[in-house]
Amino acid sequence: MYFDFTDEQQAIKATAHEFLGSRFKSERMREIAASESGFDASGWKEMAELGWAGLALPEEWGGQGLGTVELAILFEEMGYALAPSPLLSNTIVGLVLAVGGSEEQKERWLRPLAAGELRGVPALVDAGAAAEPGMFAMEAAAAGDGVVLNGEKTLVLDAASADLLLVATSDGRRHIVEKDAEGVTVIPEVSIDLTRRLSSIRFDAVRVGPEATLPGEQSAYLPVLHRACVAIAAESTGVAQRSLEMSVAYAKDRQQFGRPIGAYQAVSHRCAQMLLETENSRSAVYGAAWAADAEPESLPLAASMAKAYASDAGWRVPDAAIQVHGGIGFTWEHDLHFFLKRGRANAATFGSAKWHREQVAAAVLAGESAPASA
Amino acid sequence: MDLTLSPSEEEFRDEVRAWLEANHPGPEPEAGLDEVMAFRGEWQRKLHEAGWAGISWPKEFGGRGATMIEQAIFAAEASRQEAPSPANVLGLAMGGPVVIAHGTEEQKARYLEPILTGEEIWCQGFSEPESGSDLASLKTRAVKDGDEWVVTGQKVWTTFAQYAKWCMLVARTDPDAPKHQGLTYFLLDMEQEGVQTRPLVQITGEGEFNEVFFEEARVPDANVVGGVGNGWAVAITTLMNERAGLAFGAISQIQNSLGRLAKLAQETRSNGGTAAEDPYFRQRIAQLYIEVETMRLNAYRGLTKTMQSGIPGPEGSLGKWQWADINQDLTELALEIEGAYSMLARGSEHAVAGGAWQYGFLRSRANSIEGGTTDILRNIIAERVLGLPRLR
């Protein structure tokens, strides 16, 4: 029993913390948030050089072959820095190709994705349909030896910077579609989170050749969903941690009635609550990340627990931070709103807290025992 | 990172598991406190004979010298199997460790063995009617008289005082010194004229704790622990020295309660189906499972940290706070699931689960008060973990 990072993992954390802290200072984050595409090409290049595009992708295909614990470490720091980057969506496409792609597909797409030379984003949710994990309406209609896609995907992350779209269809299959393929139209949406943009994508008779449909089946992708949940829950934990730190610093500094406001229990107890939620979120994330790497049979329950908890904490903690800051926290000028918006958007991505709690309920009420105590 | 037990830890767990399965006497009798204490006394004798009493104590003092992880494993397993508490909980968890850390050789020779056997029960005389969370303001006086001290004052919330032979008493020996410096830690014999014990009836109807009145009670000088004027330091080390075992025992206990809650939901009709099918209850049950899991994982993270640094940090306060919150939420939810039947208590024919949840609901009200109120824990976290300024 040892619940802490190894030296290598500490090093990953330190590198990420330092790099992201210097690269995405407030002014730079705001510059990217205010830009038209929301994409930071030079930041991406540097992340790719650090090996992050392929951090958790197989070494065989040019990735670093590291685990979900390392992925969680990185994404906690991404959230802490509120780094605008397509790293999460790109990682998910890489993981899907790794479990569901053929050798040729891996060679053609996974290798450049792992190197950061191409960027991929998942296109899962169908416009107008319930945005629940694993439910897809778009049909893969047979056409010749391939399929043809019609319809509209929405809530697509980071589409502006993407080269490849990973499209899910109602038969549970995944297809790689190049963004500039004929019949594909990207429509930017107005997202509350300016540091991670959403788009809708129209598919008008888009032809997909047999070489671009992954042989994997829906069930193969569940572990990828669970890893994505762990990664985004880690990110929300970082969002909470940063919001907490900003609040504590402000509460020590800001004086009212002749004292720092942090001396008043109405404020200090709120900060203590923020710490409790942040630490719970972190423990749930690390536990699930460890399960992903070492005890995969525990991953589905652990991932839903982590995602449910971090979904709530990821926006409630920055929300409490705004209250600690008072009026200044409600201004555009202060950075807190970016953290609140990321936390709130993360809460609704890859299954809401409610959806994940229902997965937990289904597991524990079906007679499955609670996570074994050691 | 490795959240599984190592082979040697697993071997230890198996040994504990097998011994407990073979030896623990089943649930406590549903009877008066006297019978329950006799039952716990018998259990402690058994534990002691097999070397499980004082599991955290060093071997030279009759303990097992178990590592923190072993203490955690033992507590988790004992709670999982719902083994009873030993009779002398406070002696084992606090009295013994205080004597070992601060006592003289004579004190170690005199007191430790009967704590382990359960022959002598210990109680803790800290809180007073005017000194609760602000413990250092306590007023009970001890005045030197030859080679004795004369004690006058009142203590309150003194658990098992009615059974205790020894009281861990903190009294003021220098009224002119600053409040933290004028205190001394004594071992006071409860079996004497000057000590009167009066039970306090709790909201559950039971009387675990007491008021204790001292009227010129006597303590020999040889029973001062850690030196005159050092009472605060001696008391605080034992309060701070959070035993790994306690947290893990509490977590196992909550896991058992969660299992019962799930069963209650499956057996209770609600909204045209069972409560376990009701989306509202499903959400709340799931949330409790999630929170218990975060508490368990926090405890393991804390344990790793403590094993690295050797000293438990103030983060331990988070776990106690969370435990109280969860235990209260859990019993509140059970009553909500029971609906109107939740009005019936122990002794009623139609009470659900024999009224166990009603008792649990009432008993858990104390969880956010006993052993450090949640409000004080938030202060500790704000000041000592987050570094926020003190109001005082």
Comparing alpha-carbon positions, the chain A residue that sits nearest to B386 is A248
**Residue A368 pLDDT > 60:** no
Phi and psi at A158, nearest 5°, equal 55, 30
A283 touches chain B (CB under 8 A): yes
In a domain, B271, yes or no: yes
User: Is the Cβ pair A280, B258 closer than 8 Å?
Assistant: no
Chains A and B: how many Cβ contacts under 8 Å? 179
Whether residues B246 and B219 fall in one domain: no
Distance from CA of B181 to the nearest CA of A (A): 25
> With contact defined as beta carbons under 8 Å apart, do B199 and B206 qualify?
no
Q: In this predicted structure, what is the pLDDT of residue B11?
A: 96
Q: Calculate Rg over the CA atoms of chain B.
A: 22
Q: What is the CA radius of gyration of chain A?
A: 21
Residue B29 inside a domain? The answer is: yes
Q: Does A4 touch chain B (CB under 8 A)?
A: yes
Chain A contact for B375, CB < 8 A? yes
- Alpha-carbon gap, residue A63 to A53, rounded angstroms: 8
- CB-nearest partner of A268 from B283, B304, B382: B382
Considering the domain architecture, whether residues B303 and B376 belong to the same structural domain is answered as yes
Burial of A364: CB neighbours in 10 Å, binned 0-12, 13-18, 19+: buried
Which chain B residues are Cβ-neighbours of A248 within 8 angstroms? 386-388
* Topology (CATH level 3) of domain A7-115: Butyryl-Coa Dehydrogenase, subunit A; domain 1 (1.10.540)
The percent of residues in chain A predicted with pLDDT above 90, rounded, is 96
Cα-to-chain-centroid distance, residue A306: 13
- Cα–Cα dist B262/B281, whole Å: 10
Looking at chain B, which residue has its C-alpha nearest residue A258? B391
Write the pLDDT tens digit of every residue in A236-289.
999 999 999 999 999 999 999 999 999 999 999 999 999 999 999 999 999 999
Q: In the listed set B231, B253, B279, which residue is the last one of a domain according to the structure? A: B231
Please check whether residue B275 touches A, CB under 8 A: no
Residue B110 lies in a domain: no
Looking at the structure of chain B, the number of domains it has is 3
**pLDDT the model gives residue B313:** 79
CA dist A191 → A155, A194, A195, A197, B328 (Å): 9, 6, 9, 6, 39
- Which residues share a beta bridge with B172? B141, B183
**What pLDDT shows up at residue B312?**
77
User: Given an 8 Å threshold on Cβ–Cβ distance, is A286 in contact with B73?
Assistant: no
Q: Is residue B115 part of a domain?
A: no
On whether the CB atoms of residues B142 and B186 are closer than 8 A, the answer is: yes
Asked if A314 and A281 touch (Cβ cutoff 8 Å), the reply is yes
State the pLDDT at residue B32. Answer: 85
CB A198 within 8 A of CB A157: yes
The reported pLDDT for the residue numbered B241 is: 56
Whole-angstrom distance, CA of residue A144 vs CA of residue A163? 25
CB contact under 8 A, A284 and B1: no
Q: What CATH number is given to the structural domain containing B275?
A: 1.20.140.10
Residue type, B17: R
Nearest residue in B to A7, CA atom: B1
Indicate the residue of A9, A275, A305 with minimum beta-carbon distance to B381. A275
Domain final residue, candidates B201, B231, B261: B231
Contact partners, residue B390, CB within 8 Å, separation at least 6: A263, B383
Q: pLDDT tens digit string along A82-115?
A: 999 999 999 999 999 999 999 999 999 999 999 9
Judgement on whether residues B210 and B343 belong to the same structural domain of the protein: no
CB B196 within 8 A of CB B215: yes
CATH code for the domain of B14: 1.10.540.10
What pLDDT, on the 0 to 100 scale, is given for residue B244?
A: 59
Q: Which residues of A178-204 are buried (b: 16+ CB within 10 A; e: fewer)?
A: ebebeebebeeeebebbbbbbbbbbbe
CB A238 within 8 A of CB A79: yes
Count Cβ neighbours within 10 Å for each residue of A318-336 and write b for 16 or more, e otherwise. Answer: bbbbbebbeeebeeeebbb
DSSP letter (8 states) at residue A108: I
Name residues of chain B where pLDDT drops below 50. Answer: 242
First to last CA, chain A: 9
What is the nearest CA distance from B82 to chain A, expressed in angstroms? 14
Same domain, B131 and B257: no
Q: How far is B295 from chain A (nearest CA, A)?
A: 7
Cβ within 8 Å of residue A302, ≥6 positions away? A284, A287, A288, A291, A292, A371, B293
B 189-248 → A contacts, CB under 8 A: 248
DSSP A262-303: GGSHHHHHHHHHHHHHHHHHHHHHHHHHHHHHH-GGGHHHHH
Query: In terms of domains, do B50 and B156 share one?
Result: no
- Of the three residues B202, B231, B260, the one that is the final residue of a domain is B231
The shortest C-alpha distance from B338 to chain A (Å) reads: 17
On whether both B221 and B266 belong to a single domain, the answer is no
Pick among A244, A246, A273, A276 to test the B interface (most B CBs inside 10 A): A276
State the architecture of A120-216 in CATH terms.
Beta Barrel (2.40)
CA distance A347 to A233: 8
Q: What is the tens place of the pLDDT at every residue in A67-83?
A: 999 999 999 999 999 99
Which spans in A103-221 are helix H? 103-105, 111-115
Rounded CA gap, A141 and B156, in Å? 78
Catalytic residues of B: 242
Residue B69 in any domain: the answer is yes
Asked if the C-beta of B68 comes within 8 angstroms of chain A's C-beta atoms, the answer is: no
| Per-residue CA distances from A248 to A78, B155, B392 (Å) | 21, 38, 18
Answer yes or no: is pLDDT of A369 > 80.
no
Closest CB to A357 among B69, B287, B322: B287
Residues B251, B302 within the same domain: yes
Q: Are residues B213 and B249 in the same domain?
A: no
Ramachandran class of A365: left when φ > 0, alpha when ψ lies in -120 to 50, beta otherwise: alpha
Confidence check: pLDDT of A157 > 90: yes
B74 contact A CB<8A: no
Q: Are residues B218 and B248 in the same domain?
A: no
Would you kindly state where each structural domain of chain A is located, as residue ranges?
Answer: 7-115, 120-216, 219-365
Residue A32: its H or E element: helix A26-34
Confidence of residue A366 (pLDDT cuts 50, 70, 90): confident
| DSSP track, A192-226 | S-TTS-EEEEEEEEEEE-GGGB-S--GGGGHHHHH
Residue B290 with chain A: CB contacts under 8 Å? 284, 305, 308-309, 357, 360
Contacts with A287 from chain B: Cβ below 8 Å: 3, 293, 297
Q: Are residues B264 and B381 in the same domain?
A: yes
Give the domain A219-365 fold.
Butyryl-CoA Dehydrogenase, subunit A; domain 3 (1.20.140)
CB atoms within 10 A of CB B112: 22
Nearest residue of A to residue B391, measured between CA atoms: A263
Domain hosting B67: range is: 7-87
Residues B220 and B247 both lie in one domain: no
Q: Is pLDDT of A373 > 50?
A: no
Do β-strands A184-188 and A198-208 pair in parallel, antiparallel, or remain unpaired? antiparallel
Chain B closest-CA separation from residue A371 CA (Å): 7
Amino acid at A97: L
Separation of alpha carbons B88 and B166, rounded Å: 11
Examine the domain organization and report whether B26 and B53 are in the same domain.
yes
Residue A120 parent element (H or E): strand A120-123
Is residue B104 in some structural domain? no
B285 in contact with A, Cβ within 8 Å: yes
